[in-house]
Structure 1
């Protein structure tokens, strides 16, 4: 076999991937009303094709949790807590969830120690109720990719890509007199202290130097604002957290609307430490070609 032909075949084969991989993250999501669950299921089904930065995406294996039993938190990459303001020890919207989404934080309080034990190095907390606006605002509007839709997908992918169980929580309050974040039994109570505080804000700005942060990929100030009420809570300075998005002009300007754990603020969205790989084998004809080239090479060496 002439060296030039042999080399050409080898060069061609080198361009063919041995396997194609799709990383799947295991997502545990607080269950709510039928409309809430159906909407989140639709969101999850499209997550694998959402890639505004053209740098890869993640498929979601979605499970809903009703809060009545231990789901085995350490089996999941990320736990998402939808916007809620009702739990067993208080709240003026008990029974309906956040504006009727049916989500309760009772289970989050009841299983606080189990969540804390499984919790990893990435936590995302936001005063923005992006889930509500994605589900119920309709289109066009803030459902577009640079608004709630992209914000949620980016946050889940980022939190799932660390070690242990990532945490994503949308706002827990619409007024100062309740909120599970700082309630007894909350796995967040000790670290949040007296923060957060109630603050209705319409304008939300990506923080200085935070445009390249994975959660903000493909997002804009305009897409994070103009939701009717874009944020219901802000955070003061919280040890161990970095504010990536801030309240805009007016009262409370500059407070942290969305904060993330500082030790993982560099971030990535590569699927984390427990990826599921879907291996796509080469066609049989390609394996025959590889075997044939190998055989010709062996015959040439014998001659």
Structure 2
């Protein structure tokens, strides 16, 4: 059904305008789904980011009211939040101090599909990057890695607060949260769902994203040199970002998306031309003229529904 909205010209134009000229909230309620240990470096650094994010020059003074939703916690009142951020499946820095990494656990997301769908708003951002981890580490392609650190990308110091951090994982993360959290209803930000064991959930049978992503993800190979084209550079999701800054994090993006009806490519793939490494959608309600069109031509609605059924596994 969502595909109908984007095949009507007037709504497509409205969605395009929203990508380039959005309105932003001054403060957003952020619900961060995580399986990380309560004492992990992951939670400590995300909490630090939430405390200082409004001071970052490129973040437009937007404040975050952060709450964690742990994998074993009961589901909160989703309607009271502006954006649901879902931790990546790369479980680095998620264990207790001096302990092993946590095992990715998306039980809360999968068991509460109906509640998420009911609260879900008009903005969704999905990236094949584990930018949550890389932002904590301070990765940016604008800084060369040292000779003794060949297995990692260049890092800004201190991570999160150095001006050099923005054009990298940090800006990719903050832009996504601020954009998705400034729409109507519960915005969605999902980082890469892989690659550690028990992590892949996007196309799980209970995933609220399954119908939209099934058959459209290619996990073979990592894209180290993504492309922000001239049109994409005007998107608020890419404010302050460059292709170079998003490159060479070792690894920057772990999968690619084939074209998906209803989603706009936000960052292109150089690994697979015609594919994207980050995508977003603005699901607008049907305009009155669109509703009238479907009432006059019900066969169009039937065609769309049938196509959706055929595309499902």
What is the TM-score with the length of structure 1 in the denominator? 0.69
Looking at structure 1, the residues matched to 118 and 282 of structure 2 have their Cα atoms a distance apart, in angstroms, of 19
- Aligned residue pairs, count: 230
Question: Which residue is 1:62 aligned to?
Answer: 66
Matched, 1:29 2:32: yes
Matched, 1:140 2:156: yes
Matched, 1:45 2:67: no
Residue 234 of structure 2, aligned match among 212, 230, 240: 212
Could you say which structure has the larger radius of gyration? Answer: 1
Cα shift readout 1:121-169 (whole Å, capped 9, x = no counterpart): 0000000111111123574279611111111111000000110000000
Matched-pair contact (CA < 8 Å) for 2:226–2:267: yes
More deviation in 116-125 or 23-32?
23-32
Looking at structure 1, the residues matched to 190 and 260 of structure 2 have their Cα atoms a distance apart, in angstroms, of 16
| Structure 2 residue ranges without an equivalent (≥5) | 1-24, 140-154, 285-313
Please list every run of at least 4 consecutive aligned residues from structure 1 whose deviation after the TM superposition is greater than 4 angstroms.
175-178
Question: Which residue is 2:110 aligned to?
Answer: 109
Question: Which residue is 2:296 aligned to?
Answer: none
Question: 1:23 Cα deviation (Å)?
Answer: 2.3
Q: What is the SS of the residue equivalent to 2:232?
A: coil
Question: Which residue is 2:178 aligned to?
Answer: 157
Question: 1:101 Cα deviation (Å)?
Answer: 5.9
| Structure 1 residue ranges without an equivalent (≥5) | 1-21, 87-92, 265-303
Matched-pair contact (CA < 8 Å) for 1:85–1:179: no
Cα shift readout 1:206-260 (whole Å, capped 9, x = no counterpart): 1340111111001111111110111111110111100010112xx4234110000
Question: Which residue is 1:286 aligned to?
Answer: none
What is the alpha-carbon root mean square deviation over aligned residues? 2.7
Looking at structure 2, the residues matched to 226 and 115 of structure 1 have their Cα atoms a distance apart, in angstroms, of 34
Looking at structure 2, the residues matched to 217 and 135 of structure 1 have their Cα atoms a distance apart, in angstroms, of 19
Question: Which residue is 1:300 aligned to?
Answer: none
Matched-pair contact (CA < 8 Å) for 1:30–1:82: yes
Matched-pair contact (CA < 8 Å) for 1:241–1:259: yes
Looking at structure 2, the residues matched to 177 and 23 of structure 1 have their Cα atoms a distance apart, in angstroms, of 36
Residue 276 of structure 2, aligned match among 253, 256, 262: 256
